[in-house]
Amino acid sequence: MTPKFCKNIRTTETRHRREVVLGLVAFAILVSSTPSFVAPWGCRGAVESTRDMAYLQHPHSQQQQQKQQQDLDFADSLGVKRQGRPAWWPTVMLAGALCVAMLAPLGGFSGSLPLNTPAAWAARSTTGSGSKVNKDPVSLLQNALPLEECFGEKEVQLVRRVQADIEQAKAATLTRLYNTAGGAAEDAASVLVKDKKGLLKLVSDSKKKDAEAVVEKLDLAVRDVQKFITKGDRASAGTVADETANKSVIKTCEEAQSLVGDLEELMVPAGYTAPIPADVKKMKLPELQGRATVELKLKRPPDSTARKYTIDAEIFETITLKVRCDGWSSPISAGNFIDLVDKGFYKDMAIQRADGFITQFGDPGKKAGNGYRPTPDSKVRTIPLEVAIKGRKQALYGETEDEARLVGQAVRLPFQADGTVSMARAEFDNDSASSQVFIFLFESDMTPAGKNFLDGRYGTFGYTVEGAEFLRQVQEGDVIVEAKVVQGLENLKRA
């Protein structure tokens, strides 16, 4: 049997060879179709080449031929030397073709490359844009788990590989590339069968039994993925069978992805808490040590004449946004939000901004100091700016990445998915956040991931994992009729 790593190398080499050939062909077509463009500047050959091509394409009249001859005579009067392409021109063509061939694999010019870049791998760098950016909030939350920070990248490669394989199967299925999807699912299944002990190695003894149960469920889910991929591959395109199989693959991939996330969370060391500096500890702010989920239910105000929320022609009076808050990355920001939700602070509050870029709420008004007061007579409670950075257990507090001279460092919860949730603050006061929250709407053309002005400057603490498809329909004035913590409240530590 061929070792798996050899198979991967050959697959990569095959893809690169295809890209080299495509690069050479593209360059040859460019050169052959635009001789007037590639001829040396001021060269008589450019005029002659253009004329010769025109003669080949269209039968010109005598008057047109005389006009072109006049143009050539005019060039002669300027002292332009009659010549075709110079002797060194083939060398330039060859060098250019080689450059295109070598850069194609590196630049990702092949149309197949984004499909072979699973979300889990794309997220390792936040400098990408467009189709290569990981826009999946579930995957982003999984990547934010402090596994690399606790164990090192090498130790967690196995589970991250399973995660990436399942994400690749899902991505390939969306474009009906069932061969690619099947290969990815097979790789995931192979790990689950042959290296189950390796997957469970990092799980503490107190969680081992739960982790074993998750792995068993994951194995069954991946088998279902393979079964539906086979059905999709055999079905004729555009048929009911094709559509049914495709939806089934997506659904089972999402179930498997969720189970991988459960396994990864069980790998977090028992009793692990995100470190917080002493000066922030002294502020006695709520902390979320772990994760929690919040449900926000919204509806149009009673006197609204706006259209109801709709998805695929189905009308919704009320919509539900499910937000997953990550206290392992941002314990103070997430803890502050969970504390306010649990106290009913956001109930019946109106959406105060919805401009297609962000949806913002949480301002109780000027009389209340535009923030949360623990008691009517107390000052507004504020929290410091908190930015979680990849590779660091402790978040950055009180300063932006720019101010800390950490420009370019990847953040653990980047602004690159619809429904990224962050604390709002005053523009020139890093530590002014209180109760106002904004939900970010991702547009790759306007805010390319890793190149926008938000990462490292505002404190993200979670993602909208359900209901994000409604966010662009939310309007200013819509009402939060209900806000409650549905999971993880036990992870909240109040001072």
pLDDT for residue 218: 97
> What number is the average pLDDT over the span 272-281?
96
pLDDT at 67 over 60: no
3-state secondary structure of 485: strand
Start-to-end CA distance of the chain, whole Å, equals: 59
**Domain ranges within the chain, ordered by starting residue:** 4-107, 147-267, 278-493
pLDDT for residue 55: 35
The answer to whether 285 touches 336, Cβ cutoff 8 Å, is: yes
pLDDT at 29 over 60: no
Q: Tokens 């402790």: give the residue.
A: 394
pLDDT band for position 24 (cuts 50, 70, 90): low
pLDDT band for position 59 (cuts 50, 70, 90): very low
> What number is the average pLDDT over the span 360-382?
95
Distance of alpha carbon 348 from alpha carbon 67, whole angstroms: 79
pLDDT for residue 1: 39
pLDDT band for position 8 (cuts 50, 70, 90): very low
pLDDT band for position 298 (cuts 50, 70, 90): very high
pLDDT for residue 12: 37
pLDDT for residue 334: 98
Query: What pLDDT digit, counting tens, does each position of 240-250 carry?
Result: 999 999 999 99
pLDDT for residue 85: 52
The answer to whether 140 touches 123, Cβ cutoff 8 Å, is: yes
The candidate with the shortest Cα–Cα distance to 361, out of 311, 294, 292, is 294
In our burial notation (b when 16+ CB lie closer than 10 A, e otherwise), range 373-412 reads: eeeeeeeebbbbbbbbbbeeeebbbebbbeeeebeebbbb
Q: What share of the chain is helix, strand, coil (3-state, %, to 5)?
A: 45, 15, 40
CATH number for the segment(s) 147-267? 1.20.120
pTM summary value: 0.74
pLDDT for residue 408: 83
Q: Which of 59-68, 191-200, 452-461, 479-488 has the highest mean pLDDT?
A: 479-488
Q: 440 has which bridge partners?
A: 358, 420
pLDDT at 301 over 80: yes
The candidate with the shortest Cα–Cα distance to 296, out of 334, 326, 331, 341, is 341
pLDDT for residue 104: 45
Which CATH fold would you assign to the domain 278-493? Answer: Cyclophilin (2.40.100)
Query: What pLDDT digit, counting tens, does each position of 129-181 carry?
Result: 444 688 999 999 999 999 999 999 999 999 999 999 999 999 999 999 999 99
pLDDT at 79 over 60: no
> pLDDT over 90 for what percent of the chain?
67
If one counts every other C-beta atom within 10 angstroms of the C-beta of residue 11, the result is 12
Distance of alpha carbon 372 from alpha carbon 407, whole angstroms: 32
Q: Residue 332: CB partners within 8 Å, gap ≥ 6?
A: 276, 280, 285, 286, 287, 383, 384, 386, 397
> What number is the average pLDDT over the span 232-257?
94
pLDDT for residue 442: 86
pLDDT for residue 97: 56
> pLDDT over 70 for what percent of the chain?
72
pLDDT for residue 96: 63
Query: What pLDDT digit, counting tens, does each position of 413-436 carry?
Result: 999 999 999 999 998 999 999 999
In our burial notation (b when 16+ CB lie closer than 10 A, e otherwise), range 129-145 reads: beebbbbbbbbbbbbbb
pLDDT top residue among 71 and 465:
465
pLDDT at 252 over 50: yes
pLDDT for residue 446: 66
CA dihedral (194, 197, 202, 204) in degrees, to 10, reads 150
Strand positions, DSSP E, 300-381: 309-311, 314-316, 318-326, 349-350, 353-354, 358-361
> What number is the average pLDDT over the span 334-355?
97
Least confident of 14-18, 99-103, 166-170, 453-457: 14-18
pLDDT for residue 495: 79
The answer to whether 395 touches 389, Cβ cutoff 8 Å, is: yes
pLDDT band for position 48 (cuts 50, 70, 90): very low
pLDDT for residue 81: 44
pLDDT for residue 452: 73
| Element containing residue 4 per DSSP (H, E) | helix 4-33
User: Which two tokens mark 466?
Assistant: 């359900």
